[in-house]
């Protein structure tokens, strides 16, 4: 039997529909959540990402603002901009689009964002809240992975999960979220011995290594759920590029019980969860839920 395909677009649409109703309810209380996106210089991929985020804000009725400092902006320039956004009452979420130019200290800039407005969930305060199971804003892609599993009725509690990758953006927070849902979690990385054998133990396998089609049938236990977080651009033999994941899709389709495709799997959930974080930040900051 072929593996079940977990289409992220369908789940994204469910989440956005729920958020639209919440935004309308907040508007009745006089609150309109606002997102500020900071895009430094000209970076084609980043421009596309930010454009899609602004478009989704408009779709939901969120206020949005794009700020475009020049490529020559310094760390101090961006720190001043972030500080201004921190103090604006109409801005609930601040998104600093990465990568930043090489002369900018990206860590200093991200650290300057008010944790209450850190809708990317990257501030150490929010990372600490996630680790200690306190209320906070979780990184968008890991939060999206949990939504895919839950809304697809994939059991998590008591399951063995293996996360390939230990990045602050995806691997570690995904592992924490899975642990909070009572999975038994193993985090793997480039130094893990016999990586394929460890991966084969997983009921839920999350691939976030950034290596095109690295995960083959040797990594997949028959019937496992495979979540492919990879977004790798590779050259096509006939010219141009193609977007591929970290998982060999043919092997996943044959061996897994369910898997996310690339594109159309985890990717659509990232923007949806950014919107969810912005609405959550507005509710927490402005007390909209208490006003109505």
Query: So what's the pLDDT on residue 29?
Result: 87
Query: So what's the pLDDT on residue 248?
Result: 96
Same domain, 150 and 247: yes
Annotated catalytic residue within 97, 114, 203, 246 = 97
pLDDT over 70 (residue 288): no
* Residue 173: band (very low, low, confident or very high) from pLDDT cuts 50, 70, 90: very high
Report the chain's mean pLDDT, rounded to a whole number.
94
Query: So what's the pLDDT on residue 101?
Result: 94
Question: Which CATH number characterizes residue 175's domain?
Answer: 3.40.50.720
Q: Residue 133 domain-assigned? A: no
Q: Residue 63 domain-assigned? A: yes
pLDDT over 60 (residue 291): no
* Residue 290: band (very low, low, confident or very high) from pLDDT cuts 50, 70, 90: low
pLDDT over 90 (residue 240): no
Q: Residue 213 domain-assigned? A: yes
Question: Which CATH number characterizes residue 50's domain?
Answer: 3.40.50.10860
Same domain, 66 and 144: no
pLDDT over 70 (residue 13): yes
pLDDT over 90 (residue 191): yes
Q: Residue 82 domain-assigned? A: yes
pTM for the model: 0.93
Q: Residue 173 domain-assigned? A: yes
pLDDT over 80 (residue 1): no
* Residue 25: band (very low, low, confident or very high) from pLDDT cuts 50, 70, 90: very high
Query: So what's the pLDDT on residue 224?
Result: 98
Query: Vertex 25, ends 23 and 31: CA angle to 5°?
Result: 65
Q: How far apart are CA 247 and CA 215, in angstroms?
A: 4
Same domain, 166 and 77: no
pLDDT over 80 (residue 3): yes
State the average pLDDT over residues 98-120. Answer: 96
Same domain, 224 and 150: yes
Same domain, 208 and 172: yes
* Residue 251: band (very low, low, confident or very high) from pLDDT cuts 50, 70, 90: very high
pLDDT over 70 (residue 261): yes
Same domain, 77 and 184: no
Q: Residue 54 domain-assigned? A: yes
Q: Which residues constitute the domain of residue 94?
A: 31-120
State the average pLDDT over residues 160-177. Answer: 97
Query: So what's the pLDDT on residue 44?
Result: 82
Q: Estimate to the nearest angstrom the gap between the alpha carbon of 167 and the chain centroid.
A: 12
* Residue 8: band (very low, low, confident or very high) from pLDDT cuts 50, 70, 90: very high
Same domain, 66 and 146: no
* Structural domains in the chain (count): 2
State the average pLDDT over residues 50-61. Answer: 94
Residue with more model confidence, 234 or 165: 165
State the average pLDDT over residues 86-100. Answer: 95
Query: So what's the pLDDT on residue 292?
Result: 56
Annotated catalytic residue within 114, 118, 120, 203 = 120
State the average pLDDT over residues 113-130. Answer: 96
Same domain, 93 and 180: no
* 291 tagged catalytic: no
Eight-state DSSP code of residue 99: P
Q: State pLDDT tens for residues 220-237.
A: 999 999 999 998 888 888
Same domain, 159 and 251: yes
* 97 tagged catalytic: yes
* Residue 62: band (very low, low, confident or very high) from pLDDT cuts 50, 70, 90: very high
């Amino acid at each position: 039997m072929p593996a079940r395909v977990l289409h992220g677009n369908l789940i994204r649409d469910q989440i956005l529909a729920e958020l639209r109703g919440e935004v309308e309810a907040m508007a009745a209380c006089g609150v309109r959540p606002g997102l500020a996106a900071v895009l430094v210089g000209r970076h084609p991929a980043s421009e596309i990402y930010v454009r899609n985020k602004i478009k989704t804000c408009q779709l939901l009725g969120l206020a949005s603002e794009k700020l475009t400092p020049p490529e020559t902006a310094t760390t101090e320039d961006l720190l001043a901009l972030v500080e201004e956004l921190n103090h604006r009452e109409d801005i609930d979420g601040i998104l600093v689009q990465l990568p930043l130019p090489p002369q900018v200290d990206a860590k200093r800039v991200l650290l300057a964002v008010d944790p209450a407005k850190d809708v990317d969930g990257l501030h150490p305060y929010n990372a600490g809240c996630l680790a200690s199971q306190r209320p906070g804003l979780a990184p968008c892609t890991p939060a999206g992975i949990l939504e895919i599993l839950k809304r697809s009725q994939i059991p998590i509690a008591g399951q063995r999960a293996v996360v390939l990758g230990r990045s602050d953006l995806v691997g570690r927070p995904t592992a924490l979220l899975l642990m909070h849902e009572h999975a038994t979690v193993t985090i793997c990385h480039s130094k893990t011995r016999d990586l394929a054998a460890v991966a084969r133990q997983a009921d839920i396998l999350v691939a976030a290594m950034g290596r095109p089609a690295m995960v083959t049938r040797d990594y997949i236990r028959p019937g496992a759920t495979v979540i492919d977080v990879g977004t790798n651009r590779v050259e096509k033999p006939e010219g141009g590029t193609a977007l591929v994941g970290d998982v060999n899709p043919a092997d996943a389709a044959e061996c897994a019980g369910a898997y996310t495709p690339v594109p159309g799997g985890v990717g659509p959930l990232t923007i949806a969860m950014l919107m969810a974080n912005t609405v959550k930040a507005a509710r927490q900051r402005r007390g909209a839920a208490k006003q109505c």
